[in-house]
Structure 1
Amino acid sequence: MSGNEQRTVTVIGAGTIGLGWIALFLGHGLRVRVNSRRAEAPKIVEEALELFAPFLPEGSADPATFAERLEFEPDLARAVADADVVVENAPENLELKQELFERIGAAVRPGALLLSSTSTLNPDAMGARMADSGRLVVGHPFNPPHVVPLVEVVAGERTSPDAVREAVEFFESVGRVPVVLRKPILAFAANRLQSALLRESVHLVREGVVSLEELDQVVTHSIGLRWATVGPFLAFHLGGGTGGLRKWLTTLGAGLEQGWELLGRPPMDDATIQSLIEQAEAAYGGASYEELVRTRDTKQTAVLKALAEAERTV
């Protein structure tokens, strides 16, 4: 656990992402301080840890030890005062985050690493009201963060290169795979890819080509399985046979732009939204949120274990 027992991480917010981080950090031996204004935060965290603990990475700390390294501090200044790392998970509201980081910056110790789980905002914008935002870095996870390894690391113009390096080292120390974006872009990389696939998924369901449940089956039994082992570019590099991507782009892929023109641009009107909701509830409404999470995380951790084993044998 890389000496993490001596480090304190303050997690701001006990929503979906914050809860996943809390579980992961405790699993890696960190001392975790939770800052939340919700009176029921201890109960929410306790229930989440019970749900998430079975799916933490192999070698994680015994969940029986979590309580001795977990504390709650509703006062923001006291919560961050002596923290080594602060991980913010507030709603995607720029003004709210600016106010938070202004207060964090005034209270945190010099040298602390400040991370935001934002999926859309730039560090410079979030730190605009700070005296010095050089230690503020985006560390955007892919849900659920206690299972999915990716973290997109995004710097601003005012971000210190040392802070970026430390962010990468921190995420690696808790078993994540950080990817540093070379320049900031709205919604970053992973969510842009997800959004592109979702747009065409909505189009296909809206046009009656497949149902919502069938669309999910199409993905999990084809490109989802493929992408668990190779990315889009390597997939098509292999699709070109011995000629690689060079051959594929000049033969099968020669009509890419024409194919892109055929992709749908579905309107997200009331009828479309209602249809998607009804189909989702018909397909998945028979199970509780907790049951669906357990099923998802059981399958995802099984895939990760299998991939790790495969890496050891290739």
Structure 2
Amino acid sequence: MNKQVDFSTDVKVAAILGAGTIGASWTALFLAAGLEVDVYDPSDNAEAFVRDYVEHAWPSLERLGLTANGAMDRVQFFRTPEEAVVRAQFVQESVPERIDIKHELYARIEPHLRADAIVASSASGLLVKEMQDGWKNPGRFILGHPFNPPHLIPLVELLGNDKTDSDVLAKAEQFYAACAKVTIRVNREVPGHVANRLQAALWREAIHLVVEGVASVEDVDKAVYAGPGLRWSVMGPHMLFNLGSGGHGLGVFCERFGPSFHRWWDDLGDPRLTPEVIEKLLTGVQAQENGRSFDDLAAERDRKIVEASRAMSASEGFSVEDAVKKERLVTAR
């Protein structure tokens, strides 16, 4: 069992706006980090859904050593977003990705925010400059895009711009680090940010291989998780190819394998999600499911993520606590 972690942070109260799957996952993580969490969602079923989600997520958070100061009952639910943000020092917004919905929400909450509150959007498809149009003063609004599920996958992509107050990104980095997150800064805004674009590039070629009959859906998935996916879970592609040089450096690797990569890149596909392609993928995924339920498959995913995270922490010779302390030092510089 991992050592329990004492995650301290200047933020004591966080708000969640939008309590679907992403918002509920954020709620679980923030509660585990010892925060009080105020939640708003217009659904009549929101409270029951979030409490059930947190209850099911908690054992995984415990196994990761993230619940030392946490408590599942430090959560309140509100009928309006205005009420939910009044106390919050950090607001994680995860409402549906429609710009009109977000703009309406921002207009409602802006007069009720604390002066020092930071508002981070989980948006994956919208641009910060588009969302900023919903604010009178967007200085304390940023992108804080997670990877699903946020309570298990450490990555958060952060993005501000010239309208963002100078201290906000650094404070957000420190807050997320205190919640056991790993942050990157997106320096130039592009659709999909960083990780989603990498994911989209891989999936495009995975679809192409299926459509062209090179391999089945199941075998393409196997090729990812049993091959490069295992390496990618511990290092990124640049460092891995650097190591692939046999100690001679990335420059030598590029010289050796550049022609091969150029040939592969020239032959990559550009499929579209037409009804025929979707049907082909759906048939393949259903064969992979082999009668297993959504809940069973999601539980398998979460269990494997937890055990992989624990194994990596152990192999690196330090605990999750050490990793968070290291991240704090980096972001404080």
What is the CA-CA distance between 1:159 and the residue it aligns to? 0.8
Map of 1:281 onto structure 2: 286
Aligned length: 312
Is 1:174 the counterpart of 2:188? The answer is no
Are 1:190 and 2:210 an aligned pair?
Answer: no
Shift of 1:192: 0.2
Match of 1:12 among 7, 17, 24: 17
Query: Tell me, which stretches of 5 or more residues in structure 1 are unaligned?
Result: none
- 1:23-34 matched pairs, under 5 angstroms: 23-34=28-39
Summarize the alignment of residues 129-144 of structure 1 with structure 2, pairs less than 5 Å apart: 129-144=134-149
> Of the candidates 103, 121, 134, which is equivalent to residue 98 of structure 1?
103
Which of residues 298, 303, 320 is equivalent to 1:298?
303
Contact 1:98 1:125 in 2 (8 A): no
Bigger mean CA offset, 115-124 vs 280-289: 280-289
Answer yes or no: is the 8 Å Cα contact 1:31–1:70 preserved in 2.
yes
**Counterpart contact for 1:211–1:279, Cα < 8 Å:** yes
The structure 2 residue matched to 1:35, chosen from 37, 40, 56, is 40
Instruction: Give the C-alpha shift of residue 42 in structure 1.
Output: 1.4
Q: Does 1:267 align with 2:233?
A: no
Give the aligned residue type for 2:25. G
* 1:48 equivalent in alignment to 2:61: no
Equivalent AA in structure 1 for residue 67 of structure 2: A
Deviations 1:56-105 (A, max 9, x none): 163333799311x1110021111111211111001111121122112221
Identity across matched positions, percent: 35
Q: Specify the alignment match of 1:219 in structure 2.
A: 224
Moved more, 264-273 or 135-144: 264-273
Q: Give the distance between the partners of 1:45 and 1:141, measured in 2 at CA.
A: 18
Q: 1:60 aligned to 35, 42, 66, which one?
A: 66
AA aligned opposite 1:48: Y
Find the residue that maps to 1:127 and give its secondary structure.
Answer: helix
Query: C-alpha deviations, 1:162-220, integer Å up to 9, x for none?
Result: 11111111100100001111121111000000000000000111112111111111111
Q: CA deviation at 1:5?
A: 9.0
Alpha-carbon distance change, 100 to 64 in structure 1, aligned in 2, over 3 angstroms: closer
Letter in 2 for 1:59: G
Cα distance, 1:299 vs structure 2 = 0.6
Per the alignment, do residues 235 and 5 of structure 1 end up closer, same or farther by CA in structure 2, a change over 3 Å counting? closer
Letter in 1 for 2:310: K
- State the 1:288 CA deviation: 2.0
Q: TM-score, normalised by structure 1?
A: 0.94
The one-letter code matched in structure 2 to 1:52 is A
Which structure is higher in RCO with an 8 Å CA cutoff and minimum separation 6?
Answer: 2
Q: Does 1:233 align with 2:225?
A: no
Of stretches 45-54 and 55-64 in structure 1, the one that deviates more from structure 2 is 55-64
Deviations 1:1-29 (A, max 9, x none): 44459611110111111111011011111
Gaps of 5+ in 2: 1-5, 319-333
1:5–1:246 distance in 2 versus 1, CA, 3 Å: closer
Aligned counterpart for 1:153 among listed residues 158, 169, 187: 158
Tell me the SS of whatever aligns to 2:59.
helix
Q: Residues 196, 185 of structure 1: CA spacing in aligned structure 2 closer, same or farther, 3 A cutoff? A: same
Match of 2:82 in 1: 77
Q: Which residue of 2 aligns with 1:125?
A: 130
Is 2:11–2:35's contact at 8 Å kept on the other side of the alignment?
yes
Residues 278 and 161 of structure 1, relative CA distance in 2, 3 Å threshold = same
Question: Where in structure 1 do 4 or more consecutive aligned residues deviate above 6 Å?
Answer: none
Query: Could you tell me how far 1:153 is from its partner in structure 2?
Result: 0.4
What value does the CA root-mean-square deviation take over the aligned residues? 1.8
Contact 1:127 1:136 in 2 (8 A): yes
Q: Tell me whether 55-64 or 184-193 shows the greater mean CA deviation.
A: 55-64
